[in-house]
Every structure is written in C-alpha cells, then in structure tokens.
Homo-oligomer: A and B are copies of this chain.
C-alpha cells in the first residue's frame, strides 16, 4: 500500500533497530483520511470472506478496525485489556504478553457479542511477535467462531509473528511490511502485498 509506505517514511521515527514510532498518524494522533484508506484496503482484501464481525484490541487497534468495520458494514468489537481480573462467567479471557512493555495483560470479550456463526476479521495496528493476534484468535475460537483472517497495518517482518500465524493456518494481510529498521532507516519488504 503505497500511501501507507509513504506515510511511514515521512512520519515514522526509527527509535532503534526494533522500534518504529508512529504516533504522528497511527497510535496517538490519527489522520482520518489515511485511516479511511486503511479501512478500505482491508475491506477489499477480505471482500470475499463474508465477514460478520471485526475484532480488535484497545486502544490503537480501534481506529483502523472502526474504519474497516464501517466499510464492511459489520459491527466492531474491541477486547478490553486489564492488568488482572476477577473471572466472571460471562466473558472470554486470554493472557497476552507484550514484549514491548514486558507485561502480561488479560484481554476480555463479553460472551454475548461472539457466536459460533461469526466469521471474524481480526485487525491490529502492529504485528511483531503475534501475541495480541494469537490472543484475539483464541478468544474467537473459544466462542467457536471462525477466524477468517488477520489484517495488520504495519508488520515488523524481521520478527516472528507473521510466520507463527501462517504456521497456525491463519490468513495474514499486512498493509506495510518492514524488513528492517537498521541504521535508522525503514526498509520495506519487496512486493509488499504478496504472501511469502
């Protein structure tokens, strides 16, 4: 997705070999026109999948998931993140480890909003180790719903998340794939839209 690659080059700040700061357009300040283009792209990519629900995780996933759900004309459901939790019987919960923040979060979704008939598109802003995507997928599967695919705005392709998700049988579509952040530079994976 050329627009997104251009935005990443122009607005992204490479903090080090592992971290790209995107708070100018993706996870703090958001450009709505840009986010609308992201939503359209995901809706196009998964147009044949008869998606019934878009699922994401607070907070940075909400904007791209909202725009995707609007294009697909289906509800959006965002999982809540908690440090710890008193378990109740009316929620699905999974533990997700964040390598960036080095903390485990419980993520939860109310049982009443996921059903076995649902065909779910998971959307997230970043893919690195795949922890969040796997956590969301496990919640969808707890509900006996189907994961139709996983849509990622920015994939750090030098980390193992994508391969782990593919190995587990999921369809993964990342709008931008970053091969490397070395030497303070963003290098994209060539032929960005191809599956490996």
- The residues of A with any CB-CB pair to B shorter than 8 Å are 23-24, 28-33, 35-36, 58-59, 62-63, 66-67, 69-70, 73-78, 80, 109-110, 112-113
CA distance A110 to B13 in the complex (A): 14
CA distance A30 to B109 in the complex (A): 13
> In this complex, what residue of B is CB-closest to A69?
B32
Q: Closest residue of chain B to A34, judged by CB?
A: B75
Copies of this chain, how many?
A: 2
Complex: A73 Cα to B28 Cα, angstroms: 17
A69 to B35, CA, bound (A): 11
How far is it, in angstroms, between the C-alpha of A31 and the C-alpha of B77 when the chains are bound?
A: 9
When chains A and B are docked, how far (Å) is the Cα of A70 from the Cα of B32?
5
Instruction: Give the CA-CA distance A152 to B163 in the complex, in Å.
Output: 43
CB-defined contacts of A66 to chain B, threshold 8 Å: 30, 32, 35, 62-63, 66-67
Query: Contacts A78-B59, A110-B23 given: A73-B32 contact, CB under 8 Å?
Result: yes
Q: Compute how far the CA of A28 lies from the CA of B75 in the bound complex, rounded to whole angstroms.
A: 10
Whether A113 lies near B73 (C-beta < 8 A) is no
Are A30 and B80 also in contact (CB < 8 A) when A59-B59, A62-B62 are?
A: no
Question: What would be 12 A-B contacts, judged by CB atoms less than 8 Å apart?
Answer: A28-B77, A28-B110, A30-B66, A30-B75, A32-B74, A32-B76, A35-B70, A58-B58, A58-B59, A59-B78, A59-B80, A66-B67
Give the residue name and chain of the B residue nearest to A71 (CB): B32
A70 to B35 Cα, complex, angstroms: 9
